[in-house]
Chains A and B, each alone.
Chain A
Amino acid sequence: MEWEAVIGLEIHAQLATKSKIFSGASTAFGAEPNTQACAVDLALPGTLPVFNAEALRMAVMFGVAIEADIGHTSVFDRKNYFYPDLPKGYQTSQLFHPIVGIGHIDIELEGGSTKRIGVTLAHLEEDAGKSLHEEFPSMTGIDLNRAGTPLLEIVSEPDMRSAEEAVAYVKKIHAIVTNLGICDGNMAEGSFRCDCNVSVRPKGEEKLGNRTESKNINSFRFIEKAIKGEIIRQIDLIEDGHTITQETRLYDANKDETRSMRSKEEANDYRYFPCPDLLPIVIDDDYVEQIRNCLPELPDARKARFIEQFKLGDYDAMVLSAYRELGGFFETTANTAGDAKLAANWVMGELSKHLNQHDTDITVSPVTAEMLGGLLLRIKDNTITGKIAKQVFEAMWAGEGNADEVIEAKGLKQVTDTGAIESLVDEVISDNQPQVDQYVNAEPDKRGKMIGFFMGKVMQASQGKANPGQVQGLLKQKLDALAN
């Protein structure tokens, strides 16, 4: 039988506000445990929440970006359950009147077609703290630094049919929130995480199968693997005559499998009700319009512009528009260098490689866009070769100055003096008589390939500094002269 997967996703994007959603405490990541939790975050008796207007602005930005209905009146609800890292015994969330209503995004599929994915809603809520089970033998440590951090929970329609579509959707949402500047998108730190709802049904069947939810997956790759694995698990179970239990599962990245966390029967009754400590949020049209007018360029628009303005290919344009900072970096580099294609290659190649290797965010890259653009200028004006440029890049990364300083200090300037190159060429020809003989005796149409050997020798002799074009021209001229 042919099976069809039905996938819906819930994404938790941590909003990039400076302070928490209902208190003045800082949201910065990585502080000493419980140093960024104030009386409100600790849920001391008598404390009350005050809504951070910045979180509202960010949520509305997202709503505008996905062309969603923005609720005119939005209400916070309490989701009641007990857990030690949930200080109030309830999470302030939104159930009945979320800020962002129905919207949509378009994802690109393999082969260039696009598919529209519905976004059911996006609501604001506060994050819980963290329970630390490993650090304290037979005890649990509670760190409430994260408690009260604003989250935007983005709920999709069950519109995706494969793990690839799901990942394309997550990447698009990621690109939108990072381009808007409302989320840093850092998946490793948990700023952007995903719950995957997966069910399968026979192809052509309307009725949905029982679904499972795999929680808190924090990388694109894991999302893809978890969904693929879950689809296979479900199909295998059904084909073996079992039924799928509706349950919450936990994805274990180390074992690359999901395992049962709790079934629906064990699920909490959260006893949602409107939070009486917070007034309904009234959003007027002017406010939404104001945000619409100030919205930064969105990934789709930026991608289209990169193709139009810089004549980039579809793939390059998509990659470079996926993050606001990356796109900005590329644009500055391209404009400085005056060569978009070269800039795209270097940003996606050497720069990205270094950022990944050193686990460095592009915003703090030791090689700035201006520096990279300056380096590319020196390639374009033949001051250095592409190969030497990589060496210069390394030096710039290590903090040894800008391209011109490094080239000067290390004496990496390309040799373009014809006399100097000619003497190197003559030297190589006289030192490699057997290869010269082969060249001379070869059919003329085979000689083109054979010239590479001599190129290599000359470049080596010049320590990479000889202008490759000049070397090639001289070699061809002199070898061909010997042949004829």
Chain B
Amino acid sequence: MFEKTLAELAQGLASGEFSSVELTRSYLDRIKTEDGALNSFITVTETEALAQAEAADQRRSAGEAGTFTGLPIAHKDIFCTQGVRTSCGSRMLDSFVSPYNATVIENFNTAGAVSLGKTNMDEFAMGSSNESSFYGPARNPWNNDCVPGGSSGGSAAAVAGRLAPAATGTDTGGSIRQPAALCGITGLKPTYGRVSRYGMIAYASSLDQGGPMARTAEDNAMMLNVMAGFDPKDSTSIDKAVPDYTLALNDSLKGLKIGLPKEFFSGEIDPQITTQVQNAIREFEALGATVKEISLPNTQLAIPAYYIIAPAEASSNLSRFDGVRYGHRCEEPTDLEDMYKRSRGEGFGEEVKRRIMVGTYALSEGFYDAYYKKALQIRRLIQQDYVNALSEVDIIMGPTTPHPAFKLGEKSSDPIAMYMEDIFTISLNLAGMPGMSIPCGFANGLPVGLQLIGNYFAEERLLNASHQFQQATDWHKQAPTS
């Protein structure tokens, strides 16, 4: 059962092979036995999940079931969930029980999905290894000594470890694609504005985007069908019709133009990754695609620009965590300043503090033009790179990450080395376009991710290309031995 995809589970529910309660129960049991090693969940909502499953079964027997009715999934603990602790991986929100649902959660509830619980993540989505979580790092199911990636590391580990058939994630600089690559699953960062950010705790508002994580492109399409759409509560969400993302999955790839940015195949990159990615591209050629080399000349500027813009926004977004209305408040504050300093000092971890400090500095009087404004200019250049490239080709491909999963602790003392792991994913958030990571092989027994990048609102095309690749290969079917 745990090897079944979301699509297959939907069939099983529809045919009456099993009920949602049975399915949910099995996953809950598996989480109990397996998650001790993976630490992929922060909160398992057993009671709520079983109630939702029961309601789903009733809907089905009343003949009112939709595609998603009764399917169990997990949510990154960044999505506010009514009545459930929503921690964002932080001590700051360890006691925060959300009084409302994020739009994404609401959409899944409406679709009849069952939520197994809330997955582990880097604190406030700041990290590439899940090591900054207050709840301890999630671990990579392929090798428990390795990180699952981040910040949606818990979601990736849960899906790869077969503790959930699919999960939600968020991607600010690669936080869906990088852990998907490191855990050997399929993840999609949609176009900025495609999925509502309402109720998704903000890290860097102009970059954050929620998206699906599952084992196949088809499952991603099913998830995105539920997640995508205009939300009047999010001014940056885009009022554009949402297609049924499953409809174009089987389109032929004949004539698909693939661009390979030379900047993604040079420099500090594991040669085994390059090999696996090149093999995957040959597979696409076999499916009828043509390939050409392109250039994204400003790629090397992406990390410095990102590490100004994201921390600047974060420094402001995280100001609301002040110990006044909710969240962590220090014991016995002597005065207001003491309350602020200790509540925030105790509530935030090291990486969050680092980014607040960096962002505060970058926005300071006298530095704004040199840092923030300059970073915005670079952002426009990077965006233009992608616009230019995607006027020549349909999909840009390359590695998702320069290395496979690294060991826990290996990079945690070197923030810059950690930041460099996002080199291939970060620029896309600055441009706002959609990107996917799909499994395309192994390096030293650890999964390798192929990144696919499309133009604004080209999610259908990315899912179509990924699905066709997954029809021809079985990398996405490989399971870690537990």
Contact = CB atoms under 8 A, between A and B. Distances in A.
Contacts of A46: 79-80, 86, 98, 102, 197-202
Contact of B325 (A87, A140, A271, A279): A87
A222 interface: no
Contact of B364 (A42, A45, A89, A269): A269
Nearest to B124: A45
Interface of A: 39, 42-51, 78, 80, 82, 84, 87-90, 140, 142, 269, 271-273, 276-279
Contacts of A271: 315-316, 360, 363-365, 368
B96 interface: yes
Contacts of B360: 271
28 contacts: A39-B100, A42-B325, A43-B320, A44-B80, A44-B98, A44-B99, A45-B201, A46-B202, A48-B197, A48-B202, A49-B235, A78-B316, A80-B315, A82-B340, A84-B322, A89-B316, A89-B320, A271-B316, A271-B368, A272-B363, A272-B368, A273-B312, A273-B313, A273-B316, A276-B205, A276-B313, A277-B202, A277-B205
Nearest to A85: B324
The B contact surface, by secondary structure, is loop
B99 A80 contact: no
B235 A48 contact: yes
Nearest to B339: A84
B372 interface: yes
B88 to A, nearest CB: 7
A80 B361 CA distance: 13
A473 B315 CA distance: 86
Contacts of A140: 336
B115 to A, nearest CB: 16
A285 B276 CA distance: 56
A167 to B, nearest CB: 34
A88 B326 CA distance: 12
A47 B100 CA distance: 10
Contact of A80 (B204, B205, B316, B321): B316
A271 B322 CA distance: 18
Given A80-B363, A271-B360, A273-B368, A89 B96 contact: no
Nearest to B318: A89
Interface string B178-211: 0000000000000000000111111011100000
Contacts of B236: 48, 276-279
Interface string B23-52: 000000000000000000000000000000
A45 B96 contact: yes
Given A276-B205, A276-B206, A277-B205, A82 B235 contact: no
Contacts of B364: 269, 271
Contacts of A80: 315-316, 319, 363
Interface in B77-109: 79-80, 86, 88, 93, 96, 98-100, 102
B170 to A, nearest CB: 11
A50 B22 CA distance: 42
Nearest to B365: A269
A87 B313 CA distance: 16
B262 interface: no
B320 A84 contact: no
B3 interface: no
Nearest to A80: B316
Q: Interface residues of B toward A: which range?
A: 35 or more
Given A82-B340, A87-B325, A269-B364, A279 B320 contact: no
Given A89-B319, A89-B320, A271-B316, A45 B325 contact: no
Contacts of B345: none
Contacts of B313: 273, 276
A200 B340 CA distance: 39
Nearest to A42: B325
A51 B340 CA distance: 29
A333 to B, nearest CB: 46
B123 to A, nearest CB: 13
A84 B201 contact: no
A45 B319 contact: no
Contacts of B368: 271-273
B233 interface: yes
A87 B234 CA distance: 19
A39 B99 contact: yes
Contacts of A78: 316
A278 B236 CA distance: 7
Listed from nearest, the 4 A-B pairs whose CB atoms lie closest are A89-B319, A271-B363, A276-B205, A276-B206
Contacts of B326: 44-45
A78 B93 CA distance: 24
B232 interface: yes
A405 B233 CA distance: 56
Nearest to A83: B336
A142 B339 CA distance: 15
Interface in B292-345: 312-313, 315-316, 318-322, 324-326, 336, 340
Interface centre among B96, B233, B234, by most chain A C-beta atoms within 10 angstroms, is B233
Contacts of B322: 82, 84, 89
Contacts of A42: 325
Interface centre among A82, A272, A273, A279, by most chain B C-beta atoms within 10 angstroms, is A273
Interface centre among A45, A51, A82, A276, by most chain B C-beta atoms within 10 angstroms, is A45
Contacts of A43: 320, 325
B319 A90 contact: yes
B235 A277 contact: yes
A179 B234 CA distance: 34
Contacts of B233: 48, 50
A211 B200 CA distance: 45
A139 B92 CA distance: 22
Contacts of A278: 235-236
B233 to A, nearest CB: 6
